[in-house]
Amino acid sequence: MARLDARSDPASAIALAGQSQGLFDAVDERRVVIVEHAEALREMDVVLGFPREAALVLVSVERLAAGRGRRGARARPAPAQPTSLVDAVDTAGGAVERIERLFPVEVGPWIEARARLHGIAMGPDAVAMLASAIGPDTERIEQEVRKLGAFAAGRAVSGADVQALVSGAIEADVFELTQAVVRRDARTAIATCERLLADGNAVQQILALLLWQFRVLLFASAMKTNADAERMAKAIRSTPGAIARATAFARRITRVDILRAYEAIYATDQVIKTGRAESDGAALMLCVLDLCGVAGADLRDMLLVEPPRRL
Q: How far is CA 104 from CA 2, 60, 138, 234, 241, in A?
A: 30, 22, 12, 18, 6
Instruction: Look at residue 128 in the predicted model and tell me its pLDDT.
Output: 85
Instruction: Look at residue 215 in the predicted model and tell me its pLDDT.
Output: 84
Instruction: Look at residue 74 in the predicted model and tell me its pLDDT.
Output: 46
The Cα–Cα gap between 39 and 7 comes to 9
Fold of 183-304: Zinc Finger, Delta Prime; domain 3 (1.20.272)
Q: Can you give the residue ranges of every domain in the chain?
A: 2-91, 104-165, 183-304
Which amino acid is residue 56, in one-letter code? L
The Cα–Cα gap between 67 and 83 comes to 9
Which residues lie below 8 Å from residue 285, measured CB to CB, with a gap of 6+? 190, 193
Instruction: Look at residue 145 in the predicted model and tell me its pLDDT.
Output: 92
Q: What is the mean pLDDT of each run of 10 residues along the chain (311 residues)?
A: 85 83 59 84 86 85 58 48 80 78 80 88 89 78 89 89 75 80 91 86 86 83 70 68 70 85 91 86 92 88 68 51
- Identify the CATH number of the domain defined by range 104-165: 1.10.8
Task: Report yes or no on whether pTM surpasses 0.85.
Answer: no
